[in-house]
Amino acid sequence: MPTMISSVFRQKIYPFLLASYQWYLRTPERSLDKAYNAALHIKAIEDEHFNGNKIDLQSNQYSYSVIDYFESDLKKQLKIIRMRLTEFKASRFFLSESNQKTAKELGIELPHPSLILEKLKSIDDITTKYTRTDELYSQKSIDRDQNSLTKVQPPTNELKQQNFSTQKFDNKADQSKTNTTGLLPRSIFNTFTRLQVELDPNAEQNVVRNFRTTQRRTIISVRFLLLLIIVPILTHQLSKALVVGPMVDRYFAKFSQESSIFLNYEMEEEALKELNFFEEKIKFNNLLINNEPLSIEQIETAVQKRAREIAKEFRGHSSNAIKNVFADILSVIAFTWLLLISKQEIAVLKEFFDHVVYGLSDSAKAFIIILFTDIFVGFHSPHGWEVILDGISRHWGLPANHDFIFLFIATFPVILDTIFKYWIFRYLNRISPSAVATYHNMNE
């Protein structure tokens, strides 16, 4: 027996362990090569399409679809470089001198330090131009694009009907109104400024560039919102069907045969009510028929058959509730992971919402605020919160704790109402006082 074990170890286990150890020793070299190849890919795009210069995502030389292709490819390669360099540093940290000696004994040729430094220098030379990330995602560039289009403030009807150049001019004029008081009417200076903007030979290019920036920001925001919705849902459904579902079905089937099939007393009460209703219905129909009535044994047989069906049905409900718990945990993890790796998209999304929300009219802002406050913290909101909490309890197979539900309804809407009022007082009142006045008038 020991001879057989040692033979199996030499023939199967030892080669596998040796191959794994060799793979571990080559990890720094492999990671650096992948990062270096990604940097060379970026360099190839620069040489072929941008004359060796930085990839300019604001260039008017290519169409929007081509620029979007370059942007996605650049982001992909930069992400590969960051991940592989992190892997390279971590693996180098854990690679001791004894490991290097072992690698030489195994015939593994580790790269020379001069070659490593040369590749790292090449990677740095290529990626240094993009260390502050693409201009689209830079907060300062977004602010600059916002200023070139329109300031984030409640626009009037006159501003909405003007083009981008007129919006830029009007915003500058609005700032000057609050800061200085001139000797001559401002309309005279505004006229000269307007003529200067309209006669600028680069005005058309600026409008096109600003439009592309706004369009790209909108596309990124909509795409990211869809990802925030689709990724958790897909994670929930796929994990429930492929991973969590088979495991729960296997173990819960054994558990339900040995113990109760109900997760809580409410499910048991619901099953008993359904069975009692079925039994009373059979007896009632038995009294109404003109033919020969059913015997007690026949009634018991029908009730027993229905009891098995109800047990199977509620066994499925219990199993589905357990699946929902684990699938929801995986969905939350996927959602959190998406937020952690999408800081740039979140910044763009924030600017997009600011531009949309603060660009609404005062009456539209007041209408939306009243709508949300009445839904979540209004007089009828407790019924909605009760339905939501009951639905969550059923979704996870938990008994509905009415004391907790009533306590939640008594405190959480009050906290939300306080947050709404603080936001109105602290931010909206400073940015758009007229919207706050409209809100108070509509609310009264």
Residues 6+ positions from 98 with CB-CB distance below 8 Å: none
pLDDT at 331 over 90: yes
pLDDT computed for residue 314 by the predictor: 86
pLDDT at 12: 58
Q: Are the C-beta atoms of 278 and 303 separated by less than 8 Å?
A: yes
User: Who contacts 160 (Cβ-Cβ below 8 Å, separation ≥6)?
Assistant: none
pLDDT tens, position by position, 286-303: 887 766 777 888 888 988
Tokens of 263: 């997760």
Q: What is the pLDDT of residue 337?
A: 92
* Structure tokens belonging to residue 140: 């300062």
Domain-by-domain residue ranges, the chain? Answer: 2-131, 141-215, 220-342, 360-443
Specify the pLDDT at position 291: 64
pLDDT confidence tier of residue 235, bands split at 50, 70 and 90: very high
**Structure tokens of 17?**
């362990």
Which residue carries 């001791």 as its tokens?
A: 96
Measured CA angle at 266 (ends 263, 268), to 5 deg: 70
Split at pLDDT 50, 70, 90, the class of 179 is: very low
Q: What percent of the chain has pLDDT over 90?
A: 9
pLDDT of 439: 80
3-state SS string for the chain: CHHHHHHHHHHHHHHHHHHHHHHHHCHHHHHHHHHHHHHHHHHHHHHHHCCCCCCCCCCCCCCHHHHHHHHHHHHHHHHHHHHHHHHHHHHHHHCCHHHHHHHHHCCCCCCCHHHHHHHHHHHHHHHHHHCCCCCCCCHHHHHHHHHHHCCCCCCCHHHHCCCHHHHHHHHHHHHHHHHCCCCCCHHHHHHHHHHHHHCCCCHHHHHHHHHHHHHHHHHHHHHHHHHHHHHHHHHHHHHHHHHHHHHHHHHHHHHHHHCCCCCCHHHHHHHHHHHHHHHHHHHHHHHHCCCCCCCHHHHHHHHHHHHHHHHHHHHHHHHHHHHHHHHHHHHHHHHHHHHHCCHHHHHHHHHHHHHHHCCCCHHHHHHHHHHHHHHHHCCCHHHHHHHHHHHHHHHHCCCCCHHHHHHHHHHHHHHHHHHHHHHHHHHHHHHCHHHHHHHHHHHC
Q: Token pair of 270, please? A: 């619901």
Which pLDDT value is given to residue 357?
79
- Once rounded to an integer, what is the mean pLDDT over residues 330-348? 90
CA 423 to chain centre: 24
What integer is the mean pLDDT of 385-395? Answer: 88
Place of tokens 């191959």: 19
Q: What is the pLDDT of residues 236-259, one digit of tens each?
A: 999 988 888 888 887 766 665 555
Inform me whether the pLDDT recorded for 172 exceeds 80. Answer: no
- Contact status, residue 352 vs residue 218, Cβ threshold 8 Å: yes
The rounded distance, in Å, linking the Cα atoms of 63 and 157 is: 33
Confidence band of 277 (pLDDT split at 50, 70, 90): very high
